[in-house]
Amino acid sequence: MSKNPWDRSPLEVLRAGPEFDLASFDPSSTPGWSDDKDDGTERMAEQGARLADLQEMLFAEGRSGGTRSVLLVLQGMDTAGKGGIVRHVVGMVDPQGVDHASFGKPTKEELAHHYLWRIRKALPAPGRLGVFDRSHYEDVLVVRVENLVPPDVWGGRYDEINDFEAELVASGTSVVKVALMVSPDEQRARLRERLERPDKHWKYNPADLDVRAKWPAYREAYQAVLDRTSTEIAPWYVVPADRKWYARMAVTELLVDAFERLGLRWPLADFDVDAEMARLDAS
Amino acid sequence: MSKNPWDRSPLEVLRAGPEFDLASFDPSSTPGWSDDKDDGTERMAEQGARLADLQEMLFAEGRSGGTRSVLLVLQGMDTAGKGGIVRHVVGMVDPQGVDHASFGKPTKEELAHHYLWRIRKALPAPGRLGVFDRSHYEDVLVVRVENLVPPDVWGGRYDEINDFEAELVASGTSVVKVALMVSPDEQRARLRERLERPDKHWKYNPADLDVRAKWPAYREAYQAVLDRTSTEIAPWYVVPADRKWYARMAVTELLVDAFERLGLRWPLADFDVDAEMARLDAS
């Protein structure tokens, strides 16, 4: 499978444009892909190898004075598969080049700072692929739904986040934002599995059901995120996540695209190759 | 290949005991392993899957209040394959559970602190596999060879390092120290490849040849490290590294052993499973 097997580009079909409507979105669909799971797995392995190569070129650039980086932002309800993306997609590249951070409930110290404080501290270093498992978007998702700050406070954050991301992009960080969408039924099945299997108990938290009970409020909060922060420079990609293989393959494609748009080249030698070869031979 | 194919345990044959002599060590050997490379690759894949499972259990423990962690310390001359270990061995486990740090020439800020300052900052969080690409041992290797501090200063560091590692172990961090040993001839071949291939130029540094010219002094410094810091609680494993497949397979085994000795178990549920199942069904 060497020619592109997508019917339509995942970049195009997954991107949240101005008309995007979460209420009519189907988390079990496989937009742009009409082949089966095996074909998807094969495509993912191919593109994963490409991703690993591109990531090494970015790493090399970073080691040679470059300042660019890529940041993958993962959002989604519990069980949407954020961890699986990290393990199976990010896991295909060299761990040396990955800066991973996950953002749970803020600590006391974090709460004492601006909500972007902990985010800025975790930004990828030059040459790295940063991965945020949850992110600053929690500050307009759970914070909004749970009324953790007044509406005029969270209401101001959308613009602030857009400004923050514009700053990131201007300083050389490509931002790839992925919202993984799981259906309520599929979430139930995944939570059930966590309860049925003792090796999955540690992933279960009774509070997950409290969040689940607020599904419509979260959908509304996600819709607002997509409406207000899917910008030209840092668009949202909404990825149906009921089929794990599709979600992982799609995110691999989004990352490959982000790296390819950097036009990466291997750094040129800043030494005299022939002279060094002569020194080496004499050593 | 499900039964253990080693002739002798890698833990036993690679461990630097009191009689260990680097001068008579063969970097092209494959101690304890008489099968071929293909068998080694197969064994590594099997043990890699085991390692990934064990690492997930440690991660789960860390998420459930546990404080234990594992730290892999990698040392070796240029081209010995430290980066390859990270990519191919550490790359087999979930990146979420890995805390990777590499220690190059200290920054001005780092130099203004005790040499263990930057090391302590990079220690693995509970539940994590920490990986040090170079480490505090640079402070008795390059620092000793290059006379960067007076002999009485570096001379005091061996005991200090032993104390530091004893403290680590006492606080729940298993320390796995690996010295990758490449031969001068193999190093020449690997440096040559970096010069011949434009996609490898970024890995080449003319200063590598200056270090290479001091091979005997480095061997002496490594011998002192092995003599003075291969302790009961944190022994050194000296891994022949001319054959990459052997080195990677051997380090995989050392890690699997370190994790297995933790006697990991999946955390028990701290909630009522049946009650949660009923809540889930009603949701």
List, for residues A88-140, the tens digit of each pLDDT value. 999 999 999 999 999 999 999 999 999 999 999 999 999 999 999 999 999 99
Chain B's closest residue to A52, CA to CA, is B87
- Residue B232 within any structural domain of the chain: yes
Amino acid identity, position B49: A
Q: Where are the beta strands (DSSP E) in B10-168?
A: 69-76, 98-102, 129-133
A65 CB near a chain B CB, below 8 Å? Answer: no
- Residue A2 within any structural domain of the chain: no
pLDDT tens profile A160-173: 999 999 999 999 99
Torsions phi, psi for B136 (to 5 deg): -60, -15
B197 CB near a chain A CB, below 8 Å? Answer: no
pLDDT tens profile B189-224: 999 999 999 999 999 999 999 999 999 999 999 999
Average pLDDT in the B143-160 region? 97
Contact in structure between A97 and A63 (CB atoms under 8 Å):
no
Which pLDDT belongs to residue A2? 59
Which pLDDT belongs to residue B84? 97
Average pLDDT in the B266-277 region? 96
B201 CB near a chain A CB, below 8 Å? Answer: yes
Cβ distance B212 to A95 less than 8 Å, yes or no, reads: no
Cα(A247)–Cα(A117) distance, rounded to whole angstroms?
Answer: 30
Cα(B53)–Cα(B48) distance, rounded to whole angstroms?
Answer: 9
A-interface mutation test, from B53, B195, B277, B281, most A Cβ less than 10 A away: B195
Rounded to the nearest integer, the mean pLDDT of chain B is 97
Question: Which residues have a Cβ under 8 Å from the Cβ of B127 and sit 6 or more positions away?
Answer: B58, B59, B60, B61, B62, B63, B66, B68, B69, B97
Cβ distance B201 to A100 less than 8 Å, yes or no, reads: no
Q: How far from the centroid of its chain's Cα atoms is residue B225's Cα? A: 15
Cβ distance A204 to B283 less than 8 Å, yes or no, reads: no
B-interface mutation test, from A102, A202, A205, A251, most B Cβ less than 10 A away: A202
B100 CB near a chain A CB, below 8 Å? Answer: yes
For the cut 70, the answer to whether the pLDDT of residue B56 exceeds it is yes
List alpha helices for chain A, DSSP H: 10-14, 37-63, 82-88, 108-111, 117-121, 142-145, 151-155, 157-170, 184-196, 207-212, 215-229, 244-260, 273-281
Three-state DSSP at B176 gives strand
Average pLDDT in the B42-68 region? 97
Cβ distance B63 to A202 less than 8 Å, yes or no, reads: yes
- Residue B1 within any structural domain of the chain: no
Which pLDDT belongs to residue A249? 97
Out of A192, A201, A279, name the one closest to residue B280 (CB). A192
Cα(B250)–Cα(B106) distance, rounded to whole angstroms?
Answer: 30
Average pLDDT in the B73-101 region? 97
A233 CB near a chain B CB, below 8 Å? Answer: no
Structure tokens at B237: 């494993």
B188 CB near a chain A CB, below 8 Å? Answer: yes
- Residue B2 within any structural domain of the chain: no
pLDDT tens profile B157-166: 999 999 999 9
Which range marks the domain in which residue B144 is found?
10-282
- Residue A1 within any structural domain of the chain: no
Which pLDDT belongs to residue A4? 87
Contacts of B195 in chain A (CB under 8 A): 273, 276-277, 280
> Mind listing the pLDDT tens digit of every residue in chain A (283 residues)?
557 899 999 999 999 999 999 999 999 999 999 999 999 999 999 999 999 999 999 999 999 999 999 999 999 999 999 999 999 999 999 999 999 999 999 999 999 999 999 999 999 999 999 999 999 999 999 999 999 999 999 999 999 999 999 999 999 999 999 999 999 999 999 999 999 999 999 999 999 999 999 999 999 999 999 999 999 999 999 999 999 999 999 999 999 999 999 999 999 999 999 999 999 999 9
Contacts of B133 in chain A (CB under 8 A): 96
Whole-model pTM above 0.90?
Answer: yes
Which domain CATH number covers A231?
A: 3.40.50.300
Instruction: Give A251 to chain B, closest Cα distance, Å.
Output: 16
Number of residues that this document lists for chain A? 283
Q: Which of residues 118-137 of A touch B (CB under 8 A)?
A: 131, 133
Rounded to the nearest integer, the mean pLDDT of chain A is 97
Average pLDDT in the B233-243 region? 98
Residue predicted with more confidence, B128 or B1: B128
Instruction: Give A101 to chain B, closest Cα distance, Å.
Output: 8
Which pLDDT belongs to residue B2? 59
Q: Given the structure tokens 């090796």, which residue do they identify?
A: A199
Contact in structure between A59 and B86 (CB atoms under 8 Å):
no
Contacts of A213 in chain B (CB under 8 A): 283
Out of B60, B95, B102, name the one closest to residue A90 (CB). B95
Structure tokens at A273: 């190759």
Residue A23's Cβ-count burial label (10 Å; 0-12, 13-18, 19+) is exposed
> How many domains does one find in chain B?
1
- Residue A3 within any structural domain of the chain: no
Average pLDDT in the B169-185 region? 98
- Residue B4 within any structural domain of the chain: no
Residue A72: how many other CB atoms lie within 10 Å: 26
Which pLDDT belongs to residue B67? 96
For the cut 60, the answer to whether the pLDDT of residue B1 exceeds it is no
A83 CB near a chain B CB, below 8 Å? Answer: yes
B-interface mutation test, from A58, A215, A272, A283, most B Cβ less than 10 A away: A283
